[in-house]
Amino acid sequence: MSKNTKLIPSPLTYLWLFILISWLSLLFHETGHYLAARIIGVPSAQIDWLWIFYIVPAAVKIQNFNLTTTQEFLFYLSGGFTAGIIFALLTIIFWIVYRGKSAEIYWWIGTFAFTYSIASFFACYQETVNHANYLNFKYLPIEASIIFGLPIIMGIYRYRSWVKSFINKF
């Protein structure tokens, strides 16, 4: 007798997964800024990490160090670019794992990683092209639509047969 032993996570699992990946996005982004500052030559003592509730990395600031225009551009570029590359690689890894194991959780991790890869590259663009608007959260509606809209669209596609049968009931 064979049993289907696939683990089907609860919706709460997906919520925690989304929160974890959101936190990782912030961590990767700010770590990119920190590494760029160190590469540019900023001493570690002049780099401040700003944290929300000692848990969420909110910003990396440089104190008392004058950056040239090129250094400033690289510093701003590094956050979103670092996070975008890491999440693009995670997308590829988890979708390959999903193809091999067919566990739904891997598909969703890949989907969330893909979403944050797109959002991170968009943040990279925002932060370098118009830094003042980036700091004032002018792009927040666009980022929110990427972060929440893309997984919804991909989820509808993933469960398209179920969605179609649900709609046909009405």
User: H helices of the chain, where?
Assistant: 11-40, 69-101, 104-129, 131-135, 140-144, 150-158, 160-168
> Quick one: pLDDT at residue 9?
66
> Quick one: pLDDT at residue 7?
56
> Quick one: pLDDT at residue 4?
46
> Quick one: pLDDT at residue 17?
87
Does residue 127 contact residue 118 with C-beta atoms inside 8 Å? no
pTM of structure: 0.80
Low-confidence residues in the chain, pLDDT < 50: 1-5
Measure the CA–CA gap between 85 and 121, rounded to whole angstroms.
8
Q: Which two tokens stand for residue 158?
A: 């993933």
Give the closest residue to 80 by CA, choosing from 15, 170, 146.
Answer: 146
**Between the CA of residue 52 and those of 18, 49, 143, what are the distances in Å?**
18, 10, 20
> Quick one: pLDDT at residue 1?
42
